[in-house]
Chains A and B, each alone.
Chain A
Amino acid sequence: MSAARKKLRVATTSLAGCFGCHMSLLDIDERLVELLEYIELDASPLTDKKHVGPCDLGIVEGGLCNAENVHVLREFRKHCKILVAFGACAVNGGLPAQRNHLDIRDCLQTVYLTGLGVERGFIPNDPELPLPLAQVHPLHDVVKIDYFLPGCPPSAEAIWQFLTDLVAGRTPQLGHGLIHYD
């Protein structure tokens, strides 16, 4: 890597994910300092900037479980030259997608009305709440994804390999041991 190179502008977000992939990003530990010589952060939970601007790289954790997820993903696709599906949920819907064989109305009724221990329940309907989708989708169901980084979460080593490849202008190659689906 050459420090003279212009820094890559990077945005990250977590949609229908658990932030575990972002935690794994932090697990690259002191290499974060080295990474910051090569990248600068735009919108990200780490910067608290809410809307993504023009970026070289967008890293998206989580799948799509509601209308806001779709909106944010489209915003990322519009502004990022390279878009990465980051982690199992982004790649195939992951844990949230295990509700896909259930009817969403039944889910909401069970959780908020008829479930064990629910009293005087009601299905939340505040207009600020994004509407849930009938099914959870992986990112590539909705936009073009340039790279996939599987894992629950992807290991710090896999993330480091992936990012250093990209920063160096190489096509990221996850060798054996770095591709993991679990």
Chain B
Amino acid sequence: MSDERKTFTLDGQDVEFTEGQTILQAALASGTYVPSLCYHPEFRPHGSCKVCTVKVNGRTTASCTTPATAGDTVELATDDLKDLRKNLVQFLFTEGNHFCPSCEQSGNCQLQAVGYELGVVSGHYNPLFPSRPVDASHPDVLLELNRCILCELCVRASALVDRKHVFSLSGRGITKHLVVNAESGRLADTNLSVEDKAMSVCPVGVILRKRRGFRVPIGERTFDTHTASEIALAGARGPTEDGAP
């Protein structure tokens, strides 16, 4: 690696990066927040939620999967990109069943926090109200599929860290959904345990530990006291169980 300082411009400001960093990583390291949902600093980027979309030399791309390249012109906070990001989050809210007031993950939810950050006040589109089952078969874990945003973080964590392959995505397009790797399709028939990494990476309220839901009261949780950008820039990804970032 040469000693030469490598930079690209982000909304007109020079951003320094090291070889191998993505645009998103370089931006975060330089103190600029890039909204994202499927990105996690401990995992290879997935590039599916597209909330981190930027324009590189005029072309739209997911900043979590695009390597930073010297001399590139990157746009992040333009009005059209802000609108696009907002629309993507609104799509997620209207495709699933996201009823925050009755969700035990409310206040610790990345989708909610990014919504606040982007100024989302409604789903805007007509909600689909899909019919999705809840799997409560596991003694310690509740699987609430109504809230799944298909980020594949549990899939990645279960396969790469836990080496258990408990979760997978199945189907295409609007029928795509999270499935459990057991013949019965039930979580109880897997070897998932509460210590698994897959238990702690869900950005929404799908994979829930039973009997823990309201240990930290609503109003005192991570995104009640911090913004999504504060958490992302601190290098943390999401809430811990006690609500502290």
Contact = CB atoms under 8 A, between A and B. Distances in A.
Contacts, number: 76
Contacts of B123: 91-92, 138
B124 interface: yes
B102 A95 contact: yes
Interface in B87-127: 93, 97-103, 106-107, 112, 115-117, 119-124, 126-127
A39 interface: no
Nearest to A85: B122
Q: In which size bucket is the chain B interface?
A: 20 to 34
A10 B67 CA distance: 54
Contacts of B115: 179, 181
Interface string A89-108: 00111110110110000000
A152 B100 CA distance: 9
A54 B33 CA distance: 46
B93 A182 contact: no
B227 interface: yes
Given A138-B127, A141-B126, A181-B115, A91 B121 contact: yes
Contact of B116 (A101, A141, A176): A176
A65 interface: no
B218 interface: yes
B106 A181 contact: yes
Nearest to A173: B119
Nearest to B103: A182
A141 to B, nearest CB: 5
A115 to B, nearest CB: 21
B99 A94 contact: yes
Contact of A148 (B97, B107, B112, B122): B122
A174 interface: yes
A21 to B, nearest CB: 12
B43 interface: no
Contacts of B116: 176, 179-180
A154 to B, nearest CB: 10
A111 B129 CA distance: 22
A92 B121 contact: no
A152 B101 contact: yes
B119 A179 contact: yes
Given A93-B127, A97-B129, A138-B127, A150 B122 contact: yes
Q: Can you list the 5 inter-chain pairs with the closest CB atoms, starting with the nearest? A: A152-B101, A181-B100, A101-B131, A148-B122, A182-B106
15 contacts: A88-B99, A91-B122, A94-B99, A94-B101, A101-B130, A101-B131, A101-B132, A138-B123, A149-B121, A150-B121, A176-B117, A181-B98, A181-B100, A181-B106, A182-B218
Interface of A: 85, 88, 91-95, 97-98, 100-101, 135, 138, 140-141, 145, 147-150, 152, 174, 176, 179-182
